[in-house]
């Protein structure tokens, strides 16, 4: 009986020592049953949990082959880390070079983005190659758009998803094909999607937005907007967040070749929560002339306020989208 107890205690210790040596760090293992065969292969079965400092592996069964330095996980595999949560039917990993593979995989990123793939190859701890993928940032029950592709490279170091032979789908209906697509997974400076159009008032027009994010609490979009009938408009959008609340500013200006005059628009919006439970909601909109909105806006944007004489008004927007001439409100404590 004492000998049997010694054997039962030795097998988990061998697995702990082997994995700790392979990973180069402390490892904590729990399972319903742990056995070791004559070849030294250790099998952990039933509610297996392997914890390291950086991640946690859970599975129905884990097999460790120390001679090959291979760790296999089968059944309801979950790998959690600060970079992602991975669900798979099965997974295998080389404990020396940290490469591996997984089948029937769902990778959930910290921002809620979801990558589903038939097969995933792990290049290193932060880089994955995937085949037959679907990617979306929408909740799974409200997936209004997604990207479907034959192959993809997920790089968690620079927070990008690069796909090949991709389809952009809206409500699972393909609307655009591209041989190459790169999707940023966090705020990242760079060029945004160009906008091309044409019309009677502005002629052919091309906008090329450039996104910059100098700090965590503010960013901006700068857009040169060329119009064949009007000239080049400069547009800038700034967004800022602080402990008080948020501020949003839009600026646009052009030397109009049709009217031979300078024309512009300035929009601002602020939502602050002040001390003493006072809220400040401010909305301002100024245009240079009576015809600006008709010449340079379309859709719902054309409903903005304007004036021939320069003016600026602070308004509060109510819950039913009406405007009232009030900028401060105080909530009485219950």
Q: Give per-residue pLDDT as tens, 25-42.
A: 567 889 999 998 888 898
Contact 82, 128 (CB under 8 A): no
Q: At residue 321, what are phi and psi to the nearest 5 degrees?
A: 65, 30
Compute the C-alpha angle 146/147/153, nearest 5°.
135
Least confident span in 11-25, 35-49, 78-92, 131-145: 11-25
Residue range 228-284, pLDDT digits in tens? 999 999 999 999 999 999 999 999 999 999 999 999 999 999 999 988 889 999 999
Contact 90, 73 (CB under 8 A): yes
Can you name the residues that pair with 155 across neighbouring β-strands? 127, 160
User: What CATH superfamily is the domain 2-184?
Assistant: Lipopolysaccharide (LPS) transport protein A like domain (2.60.450.10)
Q: At residue 15, what are phi and psi to the nearest 5 degrees?
A: -65, -45
Residue 156 pLDDT class (50, 70, 90 cuts): confident
Q: What distance in Å separates the CA atoms of residue 172 and residue 167, rounded to the nearest whole number?
A: 10
Helix, strand or coil for residue 134?
A: strand
According to the model, what pLDDT value does residue 25 have? 55
What is the residue extent of each domain of the chain? 2-184, 190-330
Which one is predicted more confidently, 298 or 3? 298
Helix, strand or coil for residue 54?
A: coil
According to the model, what pLDDT value does residue 86 have? 94
Q: Residue 4: pLDDT above 60?
A: no
According to the model, what pLDDT value does residue 191 have? 79
According to the model, what pLDDT value does residue 29 have? 87
Question: Per-residue pLDDT averaged across 166-192, rounded?
Answer: 86
Predicted TM-score of the model (pTM): 0.61
Q: What distance in Å separates the CA atoms of residue 11 and residue 34, rounded to the nearest whole number?
A: 7
């Amino acid at each position: 009986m004492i000998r049997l107890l010694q054997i039962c205690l030795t097998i988990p210790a061998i697995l702990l020592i082997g994995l700790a040596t392979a990973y180069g760090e402390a490892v904590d293992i729990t399972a319903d049953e742990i056995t070791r065969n004559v070849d030294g292969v250790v099998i952990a079965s039933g509610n297996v949990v392997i914890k390291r400092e950086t991640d946690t592996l859970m599975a129905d069964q884990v097999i460790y082959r120390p001679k090959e330095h291979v760790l296999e996980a089968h059944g309801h595999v979950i790998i959690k880390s600060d970079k992602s949560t991975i669900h798979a039917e099965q997974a295998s990993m080389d404990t020396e070079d940290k490469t591996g593979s997984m089948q029937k995989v769902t990778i959930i990123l910290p921002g809620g983005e979801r990558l589903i793939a038939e097969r995933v190859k792990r290049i290193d701890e932060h880089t994955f190659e995937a085949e037959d993928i679907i990617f979306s940032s929408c909740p799974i029950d409200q997936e209004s758009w997604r990207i479907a592709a034959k192959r993809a490279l997920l790089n968690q170091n620079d927070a990008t998803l690069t796909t090949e032979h991709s389809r952009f789908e809206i409500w699972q209906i393909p609307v655009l094909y591209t041989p190459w697509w790169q999707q940023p997974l966090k705020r990242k400076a760079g060029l945004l999607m160009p906008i091309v159009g044409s019309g009677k008032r502005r002629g052919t027009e091309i906008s090329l937005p450039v996104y910059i994010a100098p700090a965590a609490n503010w960013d901006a979009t700068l857009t040169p907007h060329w119009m064949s009938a009007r000239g080049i408009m400069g547009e800038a959008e700034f967004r800022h967040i602080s402990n008080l609340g948020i501020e949003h500013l839009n600026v646009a200006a052009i030397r109009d070749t049709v009217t031979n005059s300078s024309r512009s628009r300035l929009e601002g919006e602020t939502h602050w929560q002040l001390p003493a439970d006072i809220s400040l909601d401010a909305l301002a909109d100024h245009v240079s002339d009576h015809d600006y909105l008709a010449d340079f806006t379309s859709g719902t944007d054309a409903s903005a306020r304007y004036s021939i004489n320069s003016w600026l008004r602070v308004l509060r927007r109510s819950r039913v989208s009406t405007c009232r001439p009030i900028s401060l409100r105080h909530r009485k404590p219950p």
